[in-house]
């Protein structure tokens, strides 16, 4: 009879594995973010400011996104080499959460309780950062410039510590939607959405202009790499223009599946999933005689709200290239590193605005007071105020042509809901000679 | 209709991979009476070996041979060094050891090969066929995958049913003492069982990687669904593993295509629980319960 225990044990273990595969959103344990009275606030000394972030350095969202913190670090190092902000060097600690909300809770706990960071900076991902949103606000930790376009970060009454940064998915989808309704008025539109707030916000924005044109909306679960059933459903619905709101690896996966299905709609991908260098490198190996040619992405439409590395004449790209070369880190300057550096540039602006003795309360108030007017690499202004914590207010539409990003429209500016879409009138900004923002204390 | 056809064919392709993986689990179960949870991690590791070879400029087939040889060696080494010390104790020990091995190999792969996504080439065309106006979600590569699984299944059935070696392996797994008395080198049989299972697992790893993206955790889903497939078919039956794998592939594809991809893991759990409640020995198992 002894032998009978084998299958039972095995089955119990498999059931446990399956349960964990079903996913469980962990809750952060309650703790007290103790203050250190010697300096102006937690994480601040006379010579340093300690901040932290969570990023997917491994797992499905790691391609591309894992480069963001390296860009941020390079820019902070550049500022530190020039003496820091008000004599304080910025110490940036980033941890891997593998795009898994349970791990996000754990690493953010470590950052807040063990590392005693002043603020969380650039925490990446909608499902991941949602898991720590309540915790950070309950603890009063500034939760600055979340690396995600969800609308969740713009709830100043409920989450006074949290600020968005990139254009939210609704704003981006509205501008994409208007572009499609004007330029592809007869297209049958299919949506390929990540099944969380990312997809939901985007669908809301896209339906503002495209409700009548949308024939199907299909959702994939991050982590499940078989998207064939979803793409087959879009094909069956007759969609001849597909808009994807997904992370970059799913851009590659959806392209591979479409190849199998002989499905050739006009592809559009949200900025977050559309980096041509990254997606191209993921697909490149299949081009060796097996896939028609490397031009799978040719003609793909996307958006921009930051300068891109294929425009080396841009003064911001020149600055960031200098910063990256000075950092001595491995790899090339990529659009993801530009993104990280732009976020870091925003943080330095915020720290300057918070004045010579920054506090957690002070930096939040400073962003609300003057954030709207800060100049930087972003192509449209932030929407920060006492009752708005929303980030960049617009995007321009682009197309991949011959491996390069081609501009299809000027930058459009809009806001959530029924706000009109207008062309941006601001002249393009240029970086200050030092490469470091010069923001006056908001006092 | 088009969608049904495509979802079905995709499910079959996916199912063939689960089947290959379930076969490896069945093989280890038949030859050692242990369920190897490190199977997926071992397969991932050999797939990375193949990728390294391919990146160095060799062809896919050289990579395949290196991966299978690597699997053979790895299976034998793991059995000798890691599993042998806990053999003979409670069976739970061996299972826990394989779980630990799973974590360790995954971490080692991340250190050696990096944790970024890499694309893995396919030996055949990834473009689907078209017949007239109808697109068929079936590629030359899917045919290769299915053929490979069928060949392995037939070879395994033949090994266990028609050869002396297969008989010895089964005997060694069933009753070590009696086998020893009858002159079977039990230790060698166990090592051989692990080595062969690791070869089949390595093949499954390569098949799922072909024409897709690999990263240290890419086998995790396959491990879980492959296990459900093996349970469904009965852990003892190679034929059952293949039928189980194809059924799971199809069912999950329908769930994902018609109900929503968020329900896939839940559906697999429901299938597992249902099978265990209704027919715990698996659909294809012959004996209701073996008494020793």
The answer to whether A195 faces chain B, any CB pair under 8 Å, is: yes
What integer is the mean pLDDT of A111-117?
93
Q: How far is CA B41 from CA A24, B38, B48, in A?
A: 23, 5, 11
Number of A/B CB contacts below 8 angstroms equals: 190
What integer is the mean pLDDT of B175-188?
84
Greatest mean pLDDT among A30-44, A280-294, B74-88 lies in B74-88
Supply the pTM of this predicted model.
Answer: 0.78
Specify the range with the lowest mean pLDDT, choosing from A119-128, A355-364, B96-105, B115-124.
B115-124
**Whole-number pLDDT of residue A12:** 56
Portion 4-63 of A in contact with B at CB < 8 A = 4-7, 9-11, 13-15, 17-19, 21-23, 57-60, 62-63
Q: How far apart are CA B136 and CA B128, in angstroms?
A: 6
What integer is the mean pLDDT of B158-179?
84
The token pair that represents B256 in the structure block:
């994902």
Question: Cα dihedral angle (A217, A223, A226, A227), rounded to 10 degrees?
Answer: 20
Quick one: three-class SS letters along chain B?
Answer: CHHHHHHHHHHHHHHHHHHHHHHHHHHHHHHHCCCCCCHHHHHHHHHHHHHHHHHCCCCHHHHHHHHHHHHHHHHHHHHHHHHHHHCCCCHHHHHHHHHHHHHHHHHHHHHHHCCCCEEECCCCCCCCEEECCEEECCCHHHHHHHHHHHHHHHHHHHHHHHCHHHHHHHHHHHCHHHHHHCCCCHHHHHHHHHHHHHHHHHHHHHHHHCCEEECCCCCHHHHHHHHHHHHHHCCCCHHHHHHHHHHHHHHHHHHHHHHCHHHHHHHHHHHHHHHHHHCCCCCCCCCCCCCC
* Domains delineated in chain A: 3-167+313-379 (3.40.50.2300), 169-304 (3.40.50.2300)
Q: Which residues are bridge partners to A144 per DSSP?
A: A121
* Domains delineated in chain B: 2-278 (1.10.3470)
Residue A182 clears pLDDT 70, i.e. is over it:
yes
Map tokens 């001595």 to a residue: A328
Residue A15 clears pLDDT 80, i.e. is over it:
no
Residue B176 clears pLDDT 90, i.e. is over it:
no
Q: How far is CA A303 from CA A187, A197, A297, B53, in A?
A: 19, 19, 14, 38
What integer is the mean pLDDT of B242-247?
90
pLDDT band at B114; cut points 50, 70, 90: confident
Q: Which residue has the higher pLDDT, A23 or A246?
A: A246
- Find the CB nearest A226 among B14, B95, B290: B14
pLDDT band at A4; cut points 50, 70, 90: very low
The answer to whether B92 faces chain A, any CB pair under 8 Å, is: yes
**Whole-number pLDDT of residue A16:** 54
**Whole-number pLDDT of residue B292:** 46
Smallest CA–CA distance, residue B256 to chain A, in Å, is 6
Greatest mean pLDDT among A294-298, A337-341, A397-401, B181-185 lies in A337-341
What integer is the mean pLDDT of A280-286?
72
Q: How far apart are CA A255 and CA A239, in angstroms?
A: 15
**Whole-number pLDDT of residue A79:** 94
Q: How far apart are CA A411 and CA A265, in angstroms?
A: 25
What integer is the mean pLDDT of A308-321?
91
Q: How far apart are CA A228 and CA A257, in angstroms?
A: 6
- Asked if A232 and B10 come within 8 Å (Cβ–Cβ), the reply is yes
pLDDT tens, residue by residue, A120-178 = 999 999 889 999 999 999 999 999 999 998 899 999 999 999 999 999 988 999 999 99
User: Which residues of chain B does A282 touch, with a Cβ-Cβ cutoff of 8 Å?
Assistant: 117, 119, 213
- Asked if A260 and B14 come within 8 Å (Cβ–Cβ), the reply is no
**Whole-number pLDDT of residue A37:** 35
Q: How far apart are CA A386 and CA B155, in angstroms?
A: 71
Mean pLDDT of chain B: 84
* Nearest-Cα residue of chain A relative to residue B117: A63
What integer is the mean pLDDT of A316-333?
90
**Whole-number pLDDT of residue B234:** 82
- Asked if B126 and A256 come within 8 Å (Cβ–Cβ), the reply is yes
What integer is the mean pLDDT of A406-426?
88
Q: How far is CA A82 from CA A46, A72, A442, in A?
A: 16, 16, 22
Q: Residues of chain A with pLDDT > 70: what percent?
A: 88
- Asked if B119 and A224 come within 8 Å (Cβ–Cβ), the reply is no
What integer is the mean pLDDT of A21-40?
42
pLDDT band at A35; cut points 50, 70, 90: very low
Portion 260-279 of A in contact with B at CB < 8 A = 260-263
What integer is the mean pLDDT of B133-147?
80
What integer is the mean pLDDT of A421-431?
86
**Whole-number pLDDT of residue A14:** 56
**Whole-number pLDDT of residue A64:** 84
Greatest mean pLDDT among A4-8, A116-120, A247-251, A284-288 lies in A116-120
Q: How far apart are CA A351 and CA A359, in angstroms?
A: 10
- Asked if B221 and A223 come within 8 Å (Cβ–Cβ), the reply is yes
- Asked if A4 and B289 come within 8 Å (Cβ–Cβ), the reply is yes
Mean pLDDT of chain A: 85
Q: How far is CA A401 from the centre of its chain?
A: 24
Specify the range with the lowest mean pLDDT, choosing from A354-368, B117-131, B223-237.
B117-131
Residue B291 clears pLDDT 60, i.e. is over it:
no
**Whole-number pLDDT of residue A295:** 64
- Find the CB nearest A18 among B130, B224, B253: B224
Q: How far is CA A71 from CA A321, A323, B52, in A?
A: 10, 9, 28
Residue A76 clears pLDDT 90, i.e. is over it:
yes
Smallest CA–CA distance, residue A207 to chain B, in Å, is 21
pLDDT band at A21; cut points 50, 70, 90: very low
Question: In terms of DSSP bridges, do strands B212-214 and A422-423 run parallel, antiparallel, or are they unpaired?
Answer: unpaired
Residue A347 clears pLDDT 90, i.e. is over it:
yes
Portion 210-239 of B in contact with A at CB < 8 A = 211-213, 215-218, 220-221, 223-224, 227-228, 231, 235
Residue A28 clears pLDDT 90, i.e. is over it:
no
CA-based angle A398:A404:A407, to the nearest 5? 25
pLDDT tens, residue by residue, B47-63 = 999 999 988 888 889 99
Contact A231, A258 (CB under 8 A): yes
For testing contact with chain A, the best of B9, B256, B269, B277 (most A CBs within 10 A)? B256
The answer to whether the complex's ipTM is over 0.85 is: no
Residue A292 clears pLDDT 90, i.e. is over it:
no
pLDDT band at A24; cut points 50, 70, 90: very low
**For the purposes of burial, counting CB atoms within 10 Å of the CB of B157, is it exposed (0-12), middle (13-18) or buried (19 or more)?**
middle
The token pair that represents A324 in the structure block:
């990256």
**Whole-number pLDDT of residue B171:** 84
Portion 170-209 of B in contact with A at CB < 8 A = none
Contact A126, A150 (CB under 8 A): yes
């Amino acid at each position: 009879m002894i032998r009978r225990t084998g299958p039972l044990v095995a089955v119990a273990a498999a059931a446990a594995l399956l349960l964990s595969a079903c996913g469980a959103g962990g809750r952060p344990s309650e703790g007290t973010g103790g203050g250190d009275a010697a300096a102006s606030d937690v994480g601040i000394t006379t010579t340093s400011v300690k901040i932290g972030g969570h990023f997917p350095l491994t797992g499905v969202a790691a391609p591309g996104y894992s480069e963001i913190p390296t860009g941020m670090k390079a820019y902070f190092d550049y500022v530190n080499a020039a003496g820091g902000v008000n004599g304080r060097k910025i110490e940036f600690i980033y941890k891997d959460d593998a795009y898994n909300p349970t791990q996000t809770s754990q690493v953010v706990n470590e950052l807040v309780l063990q590392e005693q960071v002043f603020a969380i900076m650039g925490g990446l991902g909608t499902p991941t950062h949602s898991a720590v949103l309540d915790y950070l606000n309950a603890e009063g930790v500034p939760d600055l410039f979340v690396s995600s376009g969800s609308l969740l970060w713009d709830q100043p009454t409920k989450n006074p510590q949290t600020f968005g940064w990139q254009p939210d998915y609704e704003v981006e989808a509205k501008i994409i939607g208007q572009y499609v309704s004007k330029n592809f008025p007869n297209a049958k539109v299919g949506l390929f959405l990540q099944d969380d707030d990312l997809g939901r916000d985007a669908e809301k924005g896209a339906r503002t202009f495209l409700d009548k044109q949308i024939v199907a909306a299909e959702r994939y679960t991050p982590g499940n790499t078989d998207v064939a059933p979803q793409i087959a459903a879009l094909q069956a619905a007759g969609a001849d223009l597909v808009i994807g709101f997904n992370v970059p690896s799913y851009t590659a996966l959806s392209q591979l599946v479409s190849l199998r299905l002989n499905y050739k709609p006009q592809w559009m991908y949200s900025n977050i999933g559309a980096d041509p260098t990254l997606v191209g490198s993921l697909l490149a190996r299949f081009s060796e005689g097996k896939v028609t040619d490397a031009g799978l992405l040719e003609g793909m439409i996307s958006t921009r709200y930051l300068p891109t590395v294929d425009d080396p004449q841009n003064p911001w790209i020149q600055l960031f290239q200098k910063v990256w070369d000075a950092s001595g880190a491995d790899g090339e300057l990529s659009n993801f590193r530009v993104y990280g550096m732009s976020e870091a540039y925003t943080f330095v602006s915020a720290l300057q605005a918070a004045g010579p003795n920054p506090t957690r309360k002070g930096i939040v108030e400073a962003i609300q007071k003057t954030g709207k007017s800060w100049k930087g690499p972003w192509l449209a202004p932030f929407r920060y105020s006492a009752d708005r914590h929303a980030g960049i207010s617009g995007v321009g539409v682009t197309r991949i042509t011959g491996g390069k990003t081609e501009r299809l429209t000027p930058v459009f500016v809009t806001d959530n809901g029924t706000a009109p879409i207008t062309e941006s009138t601001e002249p393009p900004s240029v970086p200050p000679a030092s490469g470091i923002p010069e923001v006056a204390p908001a006092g | 209709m088009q969608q049904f056809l495509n979802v079905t064919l995709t499910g079959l392709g996916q199912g063939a991979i689960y089947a290959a993986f379930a076969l490896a689990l069945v093989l280890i179960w038949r030859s050692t009476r242990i369920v190897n949870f490190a199977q997926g991690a071992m397969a991932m590791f050999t797939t990375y070996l193949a990728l390294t070879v391919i990146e160095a400029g060799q062809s896919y087939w050289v990579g395949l041979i290196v991966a299978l040889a690597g699997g053979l060696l790895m299976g034998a080494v793991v059995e000798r060094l890691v599993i042998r010390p806990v053999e003979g104790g409670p069976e739970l020990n061996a299972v826990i050891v394989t779980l630990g091995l799973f974590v360790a190999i995954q971490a080692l792969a991340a250190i050696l090969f990096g944790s970024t996504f890499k694309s893995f080439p396919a030996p055949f065309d990834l473009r689907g066929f078209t017949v007239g106006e109808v697109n068929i979600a079936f590629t030359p590569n899917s045919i290769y995958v299915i053929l490979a699984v069928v060949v392995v299944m037939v070879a395994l059935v033949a090994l266990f049913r028609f050869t002396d070696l297969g008989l010895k392996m089964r005997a060694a797994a069933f009753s070590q003492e009696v086998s020893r008395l009858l002159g079977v080198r039990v230790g060698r049989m166990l090592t051989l069982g692990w080595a062969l299972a690791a070869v089949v697992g390595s093949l499954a790893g390569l098949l799922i990687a072909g024409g897709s993206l690999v990263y240290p955790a890419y086998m995790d889903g396959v491990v879980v669904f492959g296990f459900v497939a093996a349970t469904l078919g009965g852990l003892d039956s190679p034929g059952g593993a293949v039928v189980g794998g194809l059924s799971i592939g199809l069912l999950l594809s329908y769930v994902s295509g018609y109900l929503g991809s968020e329900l896939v893991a839940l559906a697999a759990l429901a299938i597992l629980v249902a099978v265990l409640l209704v027919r715990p020995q698996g659909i294809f198992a012959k004996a209701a319960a073996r008494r020793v």
